[in-house]
Amino acid sequence: MAQKFYITTAIHYVNDVPHIGHMYENIVADVIARHRRRAGDDVWFLTGTDEHGQRIERSAAKQGILPIELADRVVADHHRLWKKLNVSYDDFIRTTEARHRIGVHEIIRRMLERNPDDIYLGEFQGWYCPNDETYFTDKEVTDAKCPNGHPLERAREQNYFFRLSRYQHLLLDFYDKHPGFVLPRTRFNEVIAFVAGGLRDLSVSRTSIRWGIPWPGNPDHVTYVWLDALTNYISALGFGSGDHEKFDRYWPADLHLIGKDIIRFHAVYWPAFLMSAGIELPRRVFGHGWWLRDNQKISKSVGNIVRPENIVDDFGADPFRYFVLREMVFGQDQNYSDEAFVTRYNADLANDLGNTMSRALKMADSYFGGKTPPTPSDDNDLIRASRELVPEYLRAMDDYAFQRALENTWRLLVAINGYIVANEPWKKFKENGADEALSRVLWNALESLRIVWVMLAPFMPALTRDALARLGSDPDAIGVDALQWGGLPNNVPIRVGESIFPRIDTAAYIGGTMSNPPIETTQAAPPDLAKISIDQFMEIDLRVAEIRAAEKVEKSKKLIKLTVFDGDRERTLVAGIATRYSPEELVGRKVVIVANLQPAKLMGIESNGMVLAASIAGEPSLLSVDTSVPAGTKVK
Ligand code: MSP
């Protein structure tokens, strides 16, 4: 019987639309889920949204809407995004669903039934962090800021408390017996040290908040968001309902995948709640690192949100999925930039993978009449390379060391390239035609490329199907058994087709996006940010210009070539605004330009200045002035 594998992501807050941190987590979970499925496991993959609590209440109030309206909106964004990124979850839980409320009530009921004095009514006096929805005692706070730097509010209210202090030794004992419970190990050590330092009881209800799950039997209280949120992992399986077939089948979770900031909730509070209610504990919690921007965590509260949806729109989900997994050492932090994406795309995908594919396919196409060569091969350097690298790759996948898994895949690719160069198939063809020796060489190259793509299947699922079909292989043959040498049939049609990864013109793409940044970076100004003087500002020649002609730049999705009159002369500008504006609607408009910018070449066209535009989630919006303002008017 297939082994079950239950994987969950954190459920994401709905106070704002998802950003790269959320995207990353769901992509990683998807890669793991796909890999386990193709290894034959009975996988259940859960993601969802955390919709209660003060932060949602406040965000909704700010926008003048009800919390549920905000949640509905953001949930729609989640669904759209996960579809676009090819995230193959089996279930999506919202904490506002009835099935979830039932699960929360049931876990509290079980705690009270099994350990009646685990929950008691008490008074909390201390500090509250609305951002992290966490309470702190006076002892823990020095300057009215939480450990993450958010401002705290004074709090005093009657709450239900959970007797967490009782679980210190039970937890330490559990950690001892399950040395792989939290990964990476350094984080586990932090958890153990925290618990060993003593645990204080935890307030698990609120009277100051309305937006939540009413406390069973006392509707003046709502359930503390973390007790509410953590229970999603079992409520989604039908825990507490009449239909608990999924709970019986999949619980305990094999992997809770979360960011490092919420490890304590998952590795301390959650196991203690479960122990109290007499429910089995999850098998593993993995705390991944953060995506950073300028070395700061990307988050709504910092205000440096990155939503690289434009990258996904322009180059597809698969290259982006590959990039985030290849770039980040799983468990560590990593800075994000569009430039890093373009560099990696061109080097790894366009160059190494794309070129090797088209080279091998083109040769097989022209030497063997568009078919896979007729002779299979069972003894060559590539078999040896694949027999060494595939097990390494599988070990890395089991260790969640995705970067290492991809490095091993690339080592095979390098071996294929070396093999082609060493065997010079073009020379063989010239000398002896499409003989058996040539057939073996090209079959070997195509066969090992097939294996490379099977290795890539969890990372780039859509492109893998296409690539396998081009190679003459069954696009669905991506199981771990397909990593064995010898799967490529002989004499079956192949397809060269268009390049899988057309090279990105870095200057044009980054240049085009720099004049209108594709990512919304609303970085809150740090207090020590260097200010410029009025003289420095006056050095920028900002003026009104009239657009006299506009045309799309060939082969670019973003760029438009503009001829503008700046009051003195006509000049050519290239602007990355084609995703929003058509050339026709631009002619006649008055815009604001930076007139004294150094010229720059974009897609071979010299751009003399820059058009100013605001950017909303990557969508440019031109700064325009009234048509009555004459071209050349200074802007200051
Ligand atoms: N709602 C809670 C989780 C409850 S789980 C029972 C929460 N939500 S969140 O929206 O703030 O974060 C969701 C996940 O995204 C968390 O695992 C968090 O660590 C992760 N990330 C949020 N920002 C991140 C980065 N900048 N980089 C990588 N992941 C980070 O916490």
Which of 9, 11, 15, 301 maximizes ligand 1 atoms within 8 Å of its Cβ, making it the mutation to test the pocket? Answer: 11
Task: State the amino acid at position 358 in one-letter form.
Answer: S
Q: State pLDDT tens for residues 397-416.
A: 999 999 999 999 999 999 99
Does position 517 have pLDDT exceeding 50, yes or no?
no
Whether the bond into 518 is cis, omega within 30 of 0 = no
Cα–ligand 1 centroid distance for 88 (angstroms): 19
Does position 523 have pLDDT exceeding 60, yes or no?
no
The tokens for 222 are 């709502």
Cα 360 from Cα 447, distance rounded (Å): 10
Does position 432 have pLDDT exceeding 60, yes or no?
yes
Q: What is the secondary structure of 556-612 as a DSSP string?
A: -SS-EEEEEE-SS-EEEEEES-TTT--HHHHTT-EEEEETTPPPEEETTEEE-SEE-
3-state secondary structure 378-447: CCCHHHHHHHHHHHHHHHHHHCCCHHHHHHHHHHHHHHHHHHHHHHCHHHHHHHHCCCHHHHHHHHHHHH
Percent of the chain with pLDDT strictly greater than 70: 95
Torsion of Cα atoms, 2 then 277 then 199 then 13, to 10°: 70
Burial environment of residue 614 by CB neighbours within 10 A (0 to 12, 13 to 18, 19 or more): exposed
pLDDT for 536: 65
Q: State pLDDT tens for residues 289-342.
A: 999 987 788 777 777 777 788 899 999 999 999 999 999 988 899 999 888 999
Q: State pLDDT tens for residues 572-586.
A: 999 888 888 889 888
pLDDT for 569: 87
Nearest to 18 by CA among 352, 298, 274: 298
Cα 438 from Cα 368, distance rounded (Å): 10
Residue nearest to atom 20 of ligand 1 (CA): 259
More confident residue, 78 or 507: 78
- Pocket, ligand 1, Cβ cutoff 6 A: 10-13, 21-22, 24-25, 50, 229-230, 232, 258-259, 261-262, 290-291, 297-299
Does position 500 have pLDDT exceeding 50, yes or no?
yes
Q: What is the secondary structure of 188-257 as a DSSP string?
A: HHHHHHHHHT----EE-EESS--SSPEETTEEEEEE-HHHHHHTHHHHTTTTTSS--HHHHHHPSPSEEE
Residue nearest to atom 21 of ligand 1 (CA): 21
Residue nearest to atom 5 of ligand 1 (CA): 10
The angle at the Cα of 14, spanning 338 to 296, to the nearest 5 degrees, equals 40
Residue 48: phi and psi, rounded to 5, are 165, -165
Residue nearest to atom 7 of ligand 1 (CA): 12
Which of 7, 24, 25, 336 maximizes ligand 1 atoms within 8 Å of its Cβ, making it the mutation to test the pocket? Answer: 25
Residue nearest to atom 19 of ligand 1 (CA): 259
Mean of pLDDT values over 514-525 = 37
b vs e for 73-104, b when ≥16 Cβ sit within 10 Å of the residue's Cβ?
Answer: ebbeebeebbeebbbebeebbbbbbebbbbbb
Does position 96 have pLDDT exceeding 80, yes or no?
yes
Cα–ligand 1 centroid distance for 172 (angstroms): 26
Cα–ligand 1 centroid distance for 550 (angstroms): 44
Q: What is the secondary structure of 496-561 as a DSSP string?
A: --S-SSPPP-HHHHHHHHHHS-SS---PPPPTTPPPPPHHHHHTS-EEEEEEEEEEEPTT-SS-EE
Cα 183 from Cα 180, distance rounded (Å): 7
Count of positions (residues) in the chain: 636
